[in-house]
Structure 1
Amino acid sequence: MQATVYKSTGSWYVVKTATGETFQARMKGIFKKNDDITSTNPIAVGDIVEIEPDDSDANAKNAMITAIGERRNYIVRSSPHGRNKKHIVAANLDQAMLICTIKEPRTSLGFIDRFLVTAAAYHIPAILVFNKKDIYKAREMELFEAIEALYTEIGYQVKLISATGKEGIEEIQAILKDKTTLMSGHSGVGKSSLINDLMPGLDLRTTAVSGWSGKGLHTTTFAEMYDLPGGGCLIDTPGVREFGIAEIEKTELSHYFLEMVPFLPQCQFNNCLHLNEPGCAVKAAVEAGDIDPERYVSYATILESIQEEQY
């Protein structure tokens, strides 16, 4: 029997069949011993799996996961449990949505770029949604408009909403309709409030940003997928403080900065890292104003982190 993984707690999984039947499932021990599985989680939310229901107790709705279907894509980040390990955030996605904030807490451009690079590496369209418009004053709005201009010019969708004020929610609903979407962001950016707006009655727990640290408090413990009322699925993920790059070689990184791609064939060397090499078309584009300097600095910073992890 085929089912989709809706929730992962590390040892148990909530899976749902095409007919809407839900099971509490465990994975066969063979997956834990499989050397080909290099992630900390062999099974991720969004995976299509084969299950064998446990017929010994019809009321329990338990099952065993016997096989994992081939993934058409997935989002992966380095695991918080080890620099050399990776964690699959979710699989089989149509798009990824990063919830950002200008303040309380502030989402850095570096964090945004790491998320966008990872999405681009797996050919997953990404959307940036800035929440908490209701608390932005003139200074924050000016900063948002600069960020919006930067990423819109590259080709990304950028939206401004207020989850608490229920402003811009219909536009987000239209973007999510009939698609499987990963939603991510720092703790405290208002993901749970937004999901409550999108799915009235779900009533996810929300927690205010910690006043003494400016850091958001975690409200989501495990990744979980929800069926949206208007069609489509939304995968909510635990708030992350860092988005560690995984599975990307340093020579590949520039291919995932979309504005760099047109200049790559013009570099003198095929393996150009766009740092100090002669005849670098990317650096020339930065100097000419065709590539934003902050994005180039972000590229160099991520490249350095990849080199540290590889050596």
Structure 2
Amino acid sequence: MPEGLIVKALSGYYYVQDYAGGNPVQCRGRGIFKKRGESPLVGDRVVYSETENGEGSVEEILPRKSELIRPQIANADLAVLVFSVVRPELSLVLLDKFLVHTEHARMDALIVLTKLDRIPEGEKGEQIRRTMEQARLLYTSIGYQVVLTSAHNGEGLEELRTALAGHINMLAGQSGVGKSSLVNALVPGLKIETNEISDKLGRGKHTTRHVELVPISGGGYMADTPGFSQLDFAELGIDEIGSCFREFRPLSQQCKFRGCTHTHEPQCAVLQAKEQGIVAESRYEHYVSFMTEWKETKRRY
């Protein structure tokens, strides 16, 4: 039986792209998956059979290299985290929350800052540019690639294309940050629906309603995923949150106590690094708030 890649899941159907090319085959999943509590995901490499009517059936899900729960996608190896610098304003706490989840999924992350063309003139614009540059320097120092873009005037798009080539990329971010505009700029002719930001709410409507892998130049795919702004830590353990902060990992090995929470323990290398300015204040504050949120989530469950 042939093997292929699920490039879209919609209304109970899975669209499987054969590695030989051609149009995706519309497939149903076998009932055995439901009995096992399994579900094929976009990005899954699968074995499938074809039926006489031109449709097919997903027979087997091959082992996954990675999996995200929200949005649901398998085998993505690069999380492309899209954040606008204006409307909605750049939120570092939300960016750090996205980074925790992508690190937990054992994926690398690419940070894309959008809407550079929307930065206003004057003092407000200068403040936005300072904030943007501080964020770029901070996350670059931690080890993340940061690309500054404008889908409207094409700024940064070549650098972004180079970074995406050859990967199954998961595109994610808040509603209204310009994800669909980026996809349309990168894949001409696709014309994914975009909506203007609501002046009253300061955020956009959800314009992408399902996960789909879009082929891009360089032999890779990009997953345009439904916009979302809430992530929780229910699936993480308390030790995992700290390990999902890249700069904490080498430091935690120097802590006096195994299982150090990096909040109050004596001779904690992370706390010492924070006091010395090696760990950014914002990153540490977000870590503490995530730990608090994790504890509250566990109490609810």
On whether the aligned pair clears a TM of 0.5, the verdict is: yes
Which of 26, 29, 32 is 1:27 aligned to? 29
Q: Provide the residue aligned with 2:40 in structure 1.
A: 43
- Considering only aligned residues, what root-mean-square deviation do their CA atoms show, in Å? 1.5
- How do 1:123-134 residues align onto structure 2 when only pairs under 5 Å count? 123-134=106-117
2:280 is the counterpart of 1:292: yes
- How do 1:20-99 residues align onto structure 2 when only pairs under 5 Å count? 20-21=21-22, 22-35=24-37, 37=38, 42-55=39-52, 57=53, 61-77=54-70, 89-99=72-82
Which of 267, 270, 281 is 1:279 aligned to? 267
The CA distance in 1 between the partners of 2:67 and 2:257, in whole Å, is: 31
Structure 1 residue identity aligned to 2:243: H
Task: Report SS of the residue matched to 1:7.
Answer: strand
TM-score normalised by the chain length of structure 2: 0.92
Which of 221, 225, 231 is 1:237 aligned to? 225
Query: Deviation string for 1:164-183 (max 9, x for gaps)?
Result: 11111111111111221111
Q: CA deviation at 1:246?
A: 4.8
2:204 is the counterpart of 1:203: no
2:258 is the counterpart of 1:270: yes
The CA distance in 1 between the partners of 2:258 and 2:200, in whole Å, is: 49
Query: Deviation string for 1:232-267 (max 9, x for gaps)?
Result: 111110111112235321012211111112211221
Task: Report SS of the residue matched to 1:266.
Answer: coil
- How do 1:42-191 residues align onto structure 2 when only pairs under 5 Å count? 42-55=39-52, 57=53, 61-77=54-70, 89-136=72-119, 137-191=125-179
The CA distance in 2 between the partners of 1:198 and 1:245, in whole Å, is: 32
The CA distance in 2 between the partners of 1:126 and 1:27, in whole Å, is: 31
- Structure 1, unmatched stretches of 5+, are 78-87
Identity of aligned residues (%): 35
Q: Which contiguous aligned blocks of 4+ residues in structure 1 show a shift greater than 4 angstroms?
A: none
Q: CA deviation at 1:200?
A: 0.8
Q: CA deviation at 1:34?
A: 1.5
The CA distance in 1 between the partners of 2:249 and 2:20, in whole Å, is: 44
Q: Provide the residue aligned with 1:13 in structure 2.
A: 14
Q: Contact 2:234–2:298 at 8 Å: present in 1 too?
A: no
TM-score normalised by the chain length of structure 1: 0.90
Q: Provide the residue aligned with 2:122 in structure 1.
A: none
The CA distance in 2 between the partners of 1:230 and 1:30, in whole Å, is: 36
The CA distance in 2 between the partners of 1:245 and 1:107, in whole Å, is: 22
Q: Contact 1:129–1:161 at 8 Å: present in 2 too?
A: yes
Task: Report SS of the residue matched to 1:277.
Answer: coil
Q: CA deviation at 1:32?
A: 1.6
Q: Contact 1:4–1:46 at 8 Å: present in 2 too?
A: yes
Query: Deviation string for 1:8-50 (max 9, x for gaps)?
Result: 1251111111122411111112212224x4xxxx221110112
State the aligned residue count: 292
Q: Contact 1:177–1:232 at 8 Å: present in 2 too?
A: yes
Range that drifts further, 180-189 or 103-112: 103-112
Q: Contact 1:114–1:245 at 8 Å: present in 2 too?
A: no
Q: Contact 2:44–2:74 at 8 Å: present in 1 too?
A: yes
Q: Contact 2:234–2:297 at 8 Å: present in 1 too?
A: no
- Structure 2, unmatched stretches of 5+, are 120-124
Q: Contact 1:53–1:64 at 8 Å: present in 2 too?
A: yes
Task: Report SS of the residue matched to 1:251.
Answer: helix
Task: Report SS of the residue matched to 1:45.
Answer: coil
The CA distance in 2 between the partners of 1:222 and 1:107, in whole Å, is: 25
Structure 2 residue identity aligned to 1:119: T
Range that drifts further, 215-224 or 14-23: 14-23
The CA distance in 1 between the partners of 2:233 and 2:144, in whole Å, is: 20
The CA distance in 1 between the partners of 2:89 and 2:9, in whole Å, is: 29
Structure 2 residue identity aligned to 1:118: H
Task: Report SS of the residue matched to 1:66.
Answer: strand
The CA distance in 2 between the partners of 1:271 and 1:93, in whole Å, is: 30
Q: Contact 2:42–2:72 at 8 Å: present in 1 too?
A: yes
